[in-house]
Amino acid sequence: MSDLQNKVALVTGSGRGIGKAIAIAYAKAGAHLALSARSTDQLNQTAEEIQALGQKTVIVPADVTDVNQVKILADKIRETFGRLDILVNNAGGGIERSLILESDPDLWIKDVTVNCTSAYLVTRALLPLMIESGGGKIINVGSGMGHRPGPNSSAYHVRKAGMWMFTQCLSEEVWEHGIDVNELIPGPVATDLTDGRMKVGGPPPFAPSEHVKTPEDVTPLALYLATQPNGGPTGQSFSLTRRPI
């Protein structure tokens, strides 16, 4: 594949799981990669696989909830590549899963910050470079839980609802710059975060119609969104789930 030949992509949370799988898929399609996560060791592993494909990569360990670290990330991408064509806001993780009444306020706020505010900070820092590059694609990894309410895990519902609204608002602001913004909903995926609760190929505990995917199963949709022509869909939600979102 060469659909992304010589494009430059940033994937946050690319040290493992869905982020790593997307980064490698983009490299196979011809893209150069900027990789960011908190774990340097995991980023190095992803970078080695991408470099083995003959693609250029730069790793920037960062806490993407920290404004200063995000600025360093943006500066490093500008210095290394001089452009950015694709941004995948994937960083996140489950932190507070309690009932609202029983929840820890610090953990609840941290949960929303890690998953939603981080996408805002990274996007805000990289938009100038994307505009200078002539436009591109922003893909926000969301969840069906951001489209509906439910008991327990209110922080997860709220943060993903925020990601969906952020996607829609951003799409209205940047289309004139040739930037398309869409949400990717993976559905249930077996990752480190779901270890012990989900088995590949089987149903997750909350939806018998679903089957649990591998991170690599998410990459065809990520490639589809990254390779749409200019003026393609924007402000939309694309889902791999097997039930209404």
* Residue 59 CB-density burial (10 A; 0-12 exposed, 13-18 middle, 19+ buried): buried
d(CA 209, CA 86) in angstroms, rounded, equals 33
The pLDDT value recorded for residue 115 is 82
d(CA 230, CA 136) in angstroms, rounded, equals 8
Q: For residue range 28-63, what is the model confidence (pLDDT) as tens digits? A: 999 999 999 999 999 999 999 999 999 999 999 999
Confidence of residue 207 (pLDDT cuts 50, 70, 90): confident
Pick from 174, 164, 44, 41: which is nearest to 33 by CA?
44
Give all domains of the chain, ordered by start, each with its CATH number: 8-201+215-239 (3.40.50.720)
The pLDDT value recorded for residue 117 is 93
d(CA 7, CA 13) in angstroms, rounded, equals 19
Helices in the chain by DSSP H: which ranges?
A: 17-28, 40-51, 67-81, 105-112, 118-132, 154-174, 219-226
Contact (Cβ atoms closer than 8 angstroms) between residue 33 and residue 27: yes
- Which segment of 17-26, 153-162, 174-183, 215-224 scores lowest on mean pLDDT? 153-162
34/111: higher pLDDT: 34
In the predicted model, is pLDDT for residue 105 greater than 90?
yes
In the predicted model, is pLDDT for residue 236 greater than 90?
yes
Pick from 223, 150, 235: which is nearest to 4 by CA?
223
The pLDDT value recorded for residue 87 is 98
Amino acid at 48: E
Report, as an integer, the average pLDDT of 112-141: 95
d(CA 102, CA 40) in angstroms, rounded, equals 34
Contact (Cβ atoms closer than 8 angstroms) between residue 170 and residue 138: yes
Contact (Cβ atoms closer than 8 angstroms) between residue 187 and residue 146: no
pTM: 0.94
d(CA 65, CA 110) in angstroms, rounded, equals 9
Pick from 31, 21, 118, 30: which is nearest to 73 by CA?
118
Positions annotated as catalytic residues are: 156
